[in-house]
Amino acid sequence: MTADFFDTSDVLPAREIIAEGAMLLRRFARPIQHDLLDAIACLSAQAPFRRMFTPGGYRMSVAMTNCGSLGWITDRTGYRYDAIDPDSGRPWPEMPPIFRELAGQAAAQTGFAGFRPEACLVNRYEPGTRLSLHQDRDESNYDAPIVSVSLGLPAIFLWGGLKRADKTVRYRLEHGDVVVWGGPSRLVFHGIAPLADGEHALLGRQRINLTFRQAR
Ligand code: MD6
Ligand code: FE
């Protein structure tokens, strides 16, 4: 494996400020990686990953599922949070306690004490999959931050500005990295560049991202 030559864990600082209100906590989730992967396997058995349609009629390349009392969904009628998985007609799987604890601890580390997410969107990327520039603005509460956990293959995260046309900065997000953002950064445009092919020791040819939100 050549990947070790590019392992940046010993040269990059553990925390990096991306912008005011936005911070990258490198490797923060690694100590509980196996528990996280077990929980993802369990919840995706109950609510399988699926590729949803945008209101514009395009099928997303990212496959998604959710856990928690609310899940983010998109279909031809729009984007929204819903307590029911439209594919099964049942509530989304409960949020595993380890997810809640991880998100709360990451938020507290970055100055957002008391973060209690009720929604966790789980995104699955395969090589070539991308997520175009967007703002997360389907939540009614912009005071709470969003906590994002990266697992598996590394991805290039595009961090823009408050306008879609603002130039973007690229960050490499690796297995276990956590990004917390809120405050003045909460509505920044962001996305994921097409995932490069590779093989991750635990996840194989995929990247999984968890984003935790307080939707209400
Ligand atoms: C991803 N993340 O990392 C996509 N949104 O796969 C997001 O779109 C995102 O990481 C809001 C806050 C944090 C995020
Ligand atoms: Fe987003």
Provide the number of structural domains found in the chain: 1
pLDDT band at 140 (very low <50, low <70, confident <90, very high): confident
CATH number at 100 reads 2.60.120.590
Where does ligand 1 bind, in terms of residues with CB under 6 Å? 123, 131, 136, 146, 148, 179, 181, 190, 192, 209, 211
CA-nearest residue for atom 14, ligand 1, is: 148
Give this prediction's pTM.
Answer: 0.93
Does residue 3 belong to any structural domain of this protein? Answer: no
Residue 1 has pLDDT above 90, yes or no: no
Does residue 2 belong to any structural domain of this protein? Answer: no
Domain of 125? 15-213
Report the C-alpha gap between 213 and 216 in whole angstroms: 9
> How many residues would you count in the chain?
216
Per-residue pLDDT tens for 94-127?
Answer: 999 999 999 999 999 999 999 999 999 999 999 9
Does residue 4 belong to any structural domain of this protein? Answer: no
Report the C-alpha gap between 199 and 153 in whole angstroms: 7
Report the C-alpha gap between 83 and 195 in whole angstroms: 30
Does residue 64 belong to any structural domain of this protein? Answer: yes
- CA–centroid distance, 148 to ligand 1, in Å, is 6
- CA–centroid distance, 90 to ligand 1, in Å, is 25
Per-residue pLDDT tens for 168-210?
Answer: 999 999 999 999 999 999 999 999 999 999 999 999 999 999 9
- CA–centroid distance, 131 to ligand 1, in Å, is 9
Residue 12 has pLDDT above 70, yes or no: no
Does residue 120 belong to any structural domain of this protein? Answer: yes
